[in-house]
Amino acid sequence: MLNRYPLWKYLLILIVCVVGVIYALPNLYPQDPAVQISTTNGSLGDQQLDRVTRALAEDDIQVKSAAMTGNNTALIRLVDAEQQLPARDVVDEILDDDYTVALNLADSTPSWLTSLSAAPMKLGLDLRGGVHFLLEVDMDAAVEQRLEATASAIRADLRDERIRYRSTDIDDNALHLEFANSEDRDAAREQISQTFNEFQLENREEGRRAFLDMTLTEQSIQDIQDYAVQQNLTTIRNRVNELGVSEPLVQRQGPSRIVVELPGVQDTAEAKRIVGATANLEFRLEARPDTPDAETETFPFRNSPQRTATLSRDVIITGDRVSSASQGFDQNGRPQVNINLDGTGGSLMNQATRTNIGRNMAVLYIDHSTEMRTVTQDGQQVQERIPTTSRSIISLATVQSALSNRFRITGLDSPTEASELALLLRSGSLAAPIYFVQERTIGPSLGAQNIERGIFSVIVGGLLVVAFMLIRYKAFGVIANAALAVNLVLLIAAMSLLGATLTLPGIAGIVLTLGMAVDANVLIYERIREELRRKTPAQQAIHAGYGRAFTSIVDANLTTLLVAVVLFSIGTGPVKGFAVTLSLGILTSMFTGILVSRALVNLSIGGKPVKKLWI
């Protein structure tokens, strides 16, 4: 019989629809404005929550619920979004510095839905407000830093092996060692080739002087750069976590860039300082008076730039060896940073200090920064980055006894500086300098407005289409509209399931999908009308209509999908969101336009003797 589906087809379509409804459902539950508390020392519990809720009640802030959400995090849901900011201030005041308090929007998905791992769509920054950074990792500096570290290690090695060298010199991707004669050079080459196999070694003579040129291979340059980006990614992630932002995004984009998105953050300056900070520490011994000049460097003091001290070129350890750091005060009330080193760092420190009791050790504060300058080059304005590195001594103290893995640093200006330094040491330093190439701040009011307008235009657009289809195709319009509704549900479900982020262009994509989704049905119905005009019986007309429109629909949609995929691959951020909605929309509209609408037609009039079609 014509126009009947086997039972399994109906069931399959039904199951898809039910699954769609379940996974689209969480989006209907509004998000609660909330304050999130987190700590690193594990002392957050019901007791603190009690204190906080009591204080909030005193300030007339209505609390919906307060509960622990993990070992070290708690969530206080509020009734009124207006009270979110005052609530944060209250909570921040009650809890001390060990706790991070942040604004959050908490899902209120019921537990039976979360148990099916259904969750609402994530909102993009343009819809919820926040900060977006695009960072570029300075690849050249990454290589240069690695060469400096290698030079330092080689110097130590050569001294241990009692091989005399004159100087070490770095220029692009190569390290040049100078020796007094070729015997020393050959001995050094023997030694170096064992340990540093990422270099290509080459001998060079200039008059009497003998050089060893060490050039990095292409592969190892790439490895270094890759490592630098990965390492920076980890570090920035750590730092962002310290900021206590809910649902931050830190992601690599392309070979040398990192995207950071901090929803809800409005204070760009602070976020930027923490994310982009490049401060690090180095521990070095003060040079002995008889140390040759090639092995020493002179630095000013941070607090009194006139004063300088001459330090050995060799670094005992850097801030990278710090396993934990916290801010504190010494007995005079001056800020200090308490530091714990990791195993390697502890033994390196111990070795260096054990043999040098009585000498001075300096803590060197290093800050990489880049300045942008506009210069005119070949008649065009070009922006040039000038990286500057400032190194200054924050403390110089006599080594009283062999140091182990715990000690403290003094000589800092303020408690803020101490706590920021502690944070930076904890989260690790950046393996290469970074700079900001893009930055967007979207106010929360703009976000709310965007959602409101977006949803409104989806509703209006949808209603217009529904009305159009009803007027033009009457009874079949009802079926097309039902298919359209299913399409919207499936699209939202698919986006929620895939964890796609909803952006403003994404909403535009949904609206556009609504307009284009009826295309399949329009094609089919026009075919049916045509068949009817040729006096084909009703059931056959339906059958032929669906059958003949099929190839047109597939061809047309596949090509559009192709374009959407290209858009996805070149786009970033919001545009990617648009491409995702467009592609998903094409897939769901093919399903609903062909299968769902057919199933509805088959169910209602399939196989029955129908004389006239309301189309």
Partner 1 sequence: MRQFDFMGKRRIAFIVSIVLTIVSIAALALLHLNLGLDFTGGTVVELHYATVPSLDEIRALLANSGFENFSVQTFGAADEILVRLQQTFSNDVGSQVVSALSSSGAQIDLVRAEFVGAQVGDQLRDQSGLGMLVALAGVAVYVAFRFQYKFALCAIISLGHDVLIVLGLFALFQWEFDLTVLAGIMAVIGYSLNDTIIVYDRIRENIRLSRSDNLAQIFNEAINQTLSRTLATSGTTLLVLFALFFLGGDMIHNFAISLILGIVAGTFSSVYVAAALLIVFKLERQDLIPVKKEEVEEELP
Report the site for partner 1 in 120-139 (rule: CB under 8 A): 126, 134, 136
Q: Is 132 exposed, middle or buried, given 0-12, 13-18 or 19+ CB atoms closer than 10 A? A: buried
Q: Is 462 in the site for partner 1 (CB under 8 A)?
A: yes
Q: Which of residues 419-458 bind partner 1 (CB under 8 A)?
A: 436-443, 445-446, 449-450, 453-454, 456-457
Q: Which 3-state string (H, E, C) describes 422-474?
A: HHHHHHCCCCCCEEEEEEEEECHHHHHHHHHHHHHHHHHHHHHHHHHHHHHHH
Q: Is 460 in the site for partner 1 (CB under 8 A)?
A: yes
Q: By C-beta, is 114 or 559 nearer to partner 1?
A: 559
Q: Provide, rounded to whole angstroms, the least separation between the CB of residue 29 and partner 1.
A: 25
Q: Among all chains, which residue has been given the structure tokens 């602070």?
A: 270
Q: Which of residues 135-164 bind partner 1 (CB under 8 A)?
A: 136
The gap from C-alpha 471 to its chain's centroid, in whole angstroms, comes to 48
Q: Is 461 in the site for partner 1 (CB under 8 A)?
A: yes
| DSSP H stretches of helix in 203-337 | 218-243, 268-276
Q: Provide, rounded to whole angstroms, the least separation between the CB of residue 254 and partner 1.
A: 9
Q: Provide, rounded to whole angstroms, the least separation between the CB of residue 521 and partner 1.
A: 9
Stretch that binds partner 1, among 240-248, 331-339, 464-472, 594-602 (CB under 8 A): 464-472
| CB 361, CB 396: distance < 8 Å | yes
Q: By C-beta, is 409 or 504 nearer to partner 1?
A: 504
What is the C-alpha to C-alpha distance for residues 303 and 298, in angstroms, rounded to an integer?
A: 16
Q: Is 523 in the site for partner 1 (CB under 8 A)?
A: yes
Q: Is 465 in the site for partner 1 (CB under 8 A)?
A: yes
Q: Is 49 in the site for partner 1 (CB under 8 A)?
A: no
Q: By C-beta, is 518 or 599 nearer to partner 1?
A: 518
132: three-class secondary structure by DSSP? strand
Q: Which of residues 487-516 bind partner 1 (CB under 8 A)?
A: 504-505, 507-508, 511-512, 514-516
What is the C-alpha to C-alpha distance for residues 480 and 485, in angstroms, rounded to an integer?
A: 9
Specify the pairing of strand 32-39 against strand 99-106. antiparallel
Q: Provide, rounded to whole angstroms, the least separation between the CB of residue 383 and partner 1.
A: 6
Return the DSSP state at 499: T
Q: By C-beta, is 14 or 463 nearer to partner 1?
A: 463
Q: By C-beta, is 79 or 554 nearer to partner 1?
A: 554
Q: Provide, rounded to whole angstroms, the least separation between the CB of residue 257 and partner 1.
A: 8
Stretch that binds partner 1, among 111-119, 216-224, 296-304, 528-536 (CB under 8 A): 528-536
Return the DSSP state at 319: G
Specify the pairing of strand 360-377 against strand 99-106. unpaired
Q: By C-beta, is 319 or 506 nearer to partner 1?
A: 506
Q: Provide, rounded to whole angstroms, the least separation between the CB of residue 437 and partner 1.
A: 3
Structure tokens given for 518: 């009826």
Structure tokens given for 280: 């690090």
| CB 551, CB 569: distance < 8 Å | no
Q: Which of residues 2-31 bind partner 1 (CB under 8 A)?
A: none
Q: By C-beta, is 196 or 436 nearer to partner 1?
A: 436
Q: Provide, rounded to whole angstroms, the least separation between the CB of residue 505 and partner 1.
A: 5
What is the C-alpha to C-alpha distance for residues 608 and 610, in angstroms, rounded to an integer?
A: 6
Q: Is 223 exposed, middle or buried, given 0-12, 13-18 or 19+ CB atoms closer than 10 A? A: middle
Q: Provide, rounded to whole angstroms, the least separation between the CB of residue 609 and partner 1.
A: 28
Structure tokens given for 143: 């290589």
What is the C-alpha to C-alpha distance for residues 92 and 121, in angstroms, rounded to an integer?
A: 30
Q: Which of 213, 226, 295, 526 binds partner 1 (CB under 8 A)?
A: 526
Q: By C-beta, is 407 or 435 nearer to partner 1?
A: 435
What is the C-alpha to C-alpha distance for residues 55 and 73, in angstroms, rounded to an integer?
A: 19
Q: By C-beta, is 409 or 491 nearer to partner 1?
A: 491
Q: Which of residues 76-105 bind partner 1 (CB under 8 A)?
A: none
What is the C-alpha to C-alpha distance for residues 197 and 194, in angstroms, rounded to an integer?
A: 7
- Percent helix, strand and coil across the chain, each to the nearest 5: 50, 25, 20
- CA distances for 201 relative to 166, 175, 490, angstroms: 18, 10, 62
Q: Provide, rounded to whole angstroms, the least separation between the CB of residue 523 and partner 1.
A: 5
Q: By C-beta, is 247 or 530 nearer to partner 1?
A: 530
Q: Which of residues 249-288 bind partner 1 (CB under 8 A)?
A: 268-269, 272
Q: Provide, rounded to whole angstroms, the least separation between the CB of residue 457 and partner 1.
A: 4
Q: Provide, rounded to whole angstroms, the least separation between the CB of residue 106 and partner 1.
A: 25
Helices (H) and strands (E) in the chain, counts: 16, 22
What is the C-alpha to C-alpha distance for residues 341 and 323, in angstroms, rounded to an integer?
A: 5
Structure tokens given for 44: 């957050």
Q: For 327-390, give the DSSP string.
A: EEE-TTS-EEEEEEE-HHHHHHHHHHHHTTTTSEEEEEEEEEEEEEEEEEETTEEEEEEEEEEE
Q: Is 335 in the site for partner 1 (CB under 8 A)?
A: no
Q: By C-beta, is 12 or 259 nearer to partner 1?
A: 259
Q: Which of 115, 117, 219, 383 binds partner 1 (CB under 8 A)?
A: 383
Q: Which of residues 184-223 bind partner 1 (CB under 8 A)?
A: none
Site map (CB under 8 A) of partner 1, residues 550-579, x = contact = -xx--xxxxxx-xxx-xx-xxxxxxx--xx
Q: Provide, rounded to whole angstroms, the least separation between the CB of residue 596 and partner 1.
A: 18
Number of residues interacting with partner 1: please give it, by CB under 8 A.
74
Q: Provide, rounded to whole angstroms, the least separation between the CB of residue 536 and partner 1.
A: 15
The gap from C-alpha 170 to its chain's centroid, in whole angstroms, comes to 34
Q: By C-beta, is 238 or 457 nearer to partner 1?
A: 457
Q: By C-beta, is 270 or 330 nearer to partner 1?
A: 270
What residue type is assigned to position 413 of the chain? D
Q: By C-beta, is 301 or 568 nearer to partner 1?
A: 568
Q: Provide, rounded to whole angstroms, the least separation between the CB of residue 549 and partner 1.
A: 9
Q: Among all chains, which residue has been given the structure tokens 């944060």?
A: 88
Q: By C-beta, is 357 or 464 nearer to partner 1?
A: 464
Return the DSSP state at 79: S
Q: Provide, rounded to whole angstroms, the least separation between the CB of residue 262 and partner 1.
A: 14
Specify the pairing of strand 122-123 against strand 501-502. parallel
